[in-house]
Amino acid sequence: MTDSETPEEFRVRARAFIQANLERADPEDPKRLEQPEAKVLQATIFDAGFAGIAVPKEYGGAGLTLEHQKVWAEEVNGYVVPATLFVSIGMLGITLLDHGSETLKARHIPRILRGDEVWMQLLSEPSGGSDMAAAMTRATRDGDTWVINGAKMWSTGAATADYGMCLARTDWDAPKHKGLSMFAVPLQQPDVTIEPIVSIEGGPAHFFQEYFDDVSLPADHLIGEENEGWSVAHSLLFHERNATAGVGHGLGLGGGHGDGGGADGHGVEDLVRSAAKAGTLGDAATRQLIAEAYVAQQARDHTNDRVGVGMRTGQFKGDWGSLLKLGLALDTLRRGEIGLIVGGVDGVIWNDDGPDAGGAGNRWLGARSISIAGGTNEMQRNIVSERLLGMPREPATDRDIPFREVVARRPKPE
């Protein structure tokens, strides 16, 4: 590999590696690697120089570009990939790259890219997730250490992650967006209690609630500057929405939404297979529904390409990932409904094996999560209208006053 390797030269090299080292995904039985297997596969990908394709070499990446990342996504499509590491590598590692100190970046990014260390996000709280800047988890400085107290919620993968990127309040006298800081919190330790949350689709718990009781952190676990945590959180959400929608660094890591990598059972071809199994493929009404899903998929693919190119060339700046993620969430919900209709009997029964169980019923239940995770559809609509279309901001009475006063004004629980 040379620094000037073109995307097409990279494609040849990537294809040879993928064919020799990755397993073809079975569309009849979408396989999701458990974390231990995913880590082994990620180590193979890293050791061959294909992890963190657009991450600088000094942090263990391949030092190439997002265009090469897109080529990787195209080549890996239809293969089993280490999808459980998608959040850690495609979102958290990249946020650390944007904001971490040299110490943090050098220590953690190579380990994240190799899958040796797994990171997840600790943003939402029991009191609410959409208004993330209203975080109540507290970090207090005590000499050379920070002490964290509070609770987080809906945290994907906390039980098996090594570190959480945790948004905590460090200044209660500053307005709510200006008194937050971001920390790297080691999760598997006695002062952190992690409890599972049972989700609607059943299966093993994949998100959790955590309680922090005097969790002590060395000063160098601060990510970015003190009281600048909002900009770190904003970057994290930016990368999350891009990665989920299938643009940027998360491409081809198996986010499971048609971005390349694996098979998630949500594709148009899955609808065709399901209708054939139910014996309804010849029905005009079924064909109409599948055509609707196909047209939506084509429109979304082209929009993703257009925005992806615009972001890579610098023509599109800002929160375009929110627009794509909103489109993805609306399509996924509709495809879930179509899946139920065309799937016949398969559409009205589901088991408790979770969203990967393969049936139309399980997929319909699981489809809802994308319209909530990473910010709800309503929040994406707010972002699109305010930041992309330039419409007036949503009124807020708590933006410019000390957060301590915001809390004091809240109605007390009965």
Contact assessment for residue 159 and residue 205, using Cβ atoms and an 8 Å cutoff: yes
Instruction: Give the length of the chain.
Output: 414
Of 153-212, binders to ligand FAD (CB under 6 A) are: 154-156, 207
* CB 335, min distance to ligand FAD, A: 17
The mark string for 100-129 relative to ligand FAD (x by CB under 6 A, - otherwise) is --------------------xxxxx---xx
- The CA distances from residue 11 to 47, 81, 82, 371, in Å, are 18, 17, 20, 33
Closest distance of CB 379 from ligand FAD, Å: 6
Q: How far is the CB of 12 from ligand FAD (least distance, A)?
A: 37
Side-chain-side CA neighbours of residue 401 (13 Å): 9
Closest CB to ligand FAD among residues 373, 407: 373
Cα gap 167→164, rounded to integer Å: 9
Shortest Å, Cβ 368 to ligand FAD = 8
Other beta carbons within 10 Å of 79: 19
- 280 binds ligand FAD per the rule CB under 6 A: no
Reported in sequence order, the residue ranges of 171-228 that DSSP labels E, i.e. its strands, are 180-186, 192-197, 207-218, 222-223
Q: How far is the CB of 131 from ligand FAD (least distance, A)?
A: 6
The footprint of ligand FAD on residues 341-370 (CB under 6 A) is 369
Render the burial of 326-348: b for 16+ CB within 10 Å, e for the rest: bbbbbbbbebbebbbbbbbebbe
| Of 205, 281, 372, 388, the one binding ligand FAD by CB under 6 A | 372
Residues 125-154, interacting with ligand FAD (CB under 6 A):
128-130, 154
- Is the Cβ of residue 286 or residue 371 nearer to ligand FAD in the bound state? 371
Q: Which amino acid is at 251?
A: L
For residue 86, the minimal CB distance to ligand FAD (Å) is 12
146, 217 in Cβ contact below 8 A?
yes
Q: Compare residues 27 and 203 and give the one whose CB is closer to ligand FAD.
A: 203
Closer to ligand FAD by CB, 92 or 222: give it.
92
Q: Which two tokens stand for residue 257?
A: 């939404």
**Least distance (Å) from ligand FAD to the CB of residue 148?**
15
Q: How far is the CB of 232 from ligand FAD (least distance, A)?
A: 13
Q: Which position's Cβ is nearest ligand FAD?
A: 129
Residue among 277 and 387 whose Cβ is closer to ligand FAD:
387
Residue found by looking up tokens 């006298």 in the block: 173
Residue 373 binds ligand FAD, judged by CB under 6 A? yes
Least distance (Å) from ligand FAD to the CB of residue 334?
18
The distance of closest approach from Cβ of residue 397 to ligand FAD in the complex, given in angstroms and rounded to an integer, is 13
Whole-Å CA distances, 87 to 227, 253, 277: 25, 9, 34
H-run or E-run covering 138:
strand 138-142
C-beta of 121 vs 242, nearer to ligand FAD: 121
Return the number of the residue (242 or 280) whose C-beta is nearest ligand FAD: 242
Q: Are 114 and 60 in contact (CB under 8 A)?
A: yes
Q: Do residues 253 and 136 lie in contact, with contact meaning Cβ atoms separated by under 8 Å?
A: no
How far is Cα 378 from Cα 58, in angstroms, rounded to an integer? 39
Q: Can you list the alpha helix ranges (DSSP code H) found in 120-206?
A: none
Among 211, 382, 384, 402, binds ligand FAD (CB under 6 A): 382
Determine the Cα–Cα distance for residues 129 and 386; give it in Å rounded to an integer.
Answer: 19
Out of 79, 375, 380, 383, point to the residue binding ligand FAD (CB under 6 A): 375
- Report how far residue 117's alpha carbon sits from residue 88's, in angstroms, rounded to the nearest whole number: 8
Could you tell me which stretch among 2-10, 109-117, 298-306, 374-382 binds ligand FAD (CB under 6 A)?
374-382
- Whole-number Cα distances in Å, 21 to 15, 53, 74, 82: 10, 17, 16, 12
DSSP type of residue 191: T
- Min. distance of Cβ 242 from ligand FAD in angstroms? 16
* Closer CB to ligand FAD, 121 or 286, in the complex: 121
Query: Which residue's CB is nearer to ligand FAD, number 46 or number 86?
Result: 86
Give the footprint of ligand FAD on this chain (CB under 6 A). Answer: 120-124, 128-130, 154-156, 207, 369, 372-373, 375-376, 378-379, 382, 394
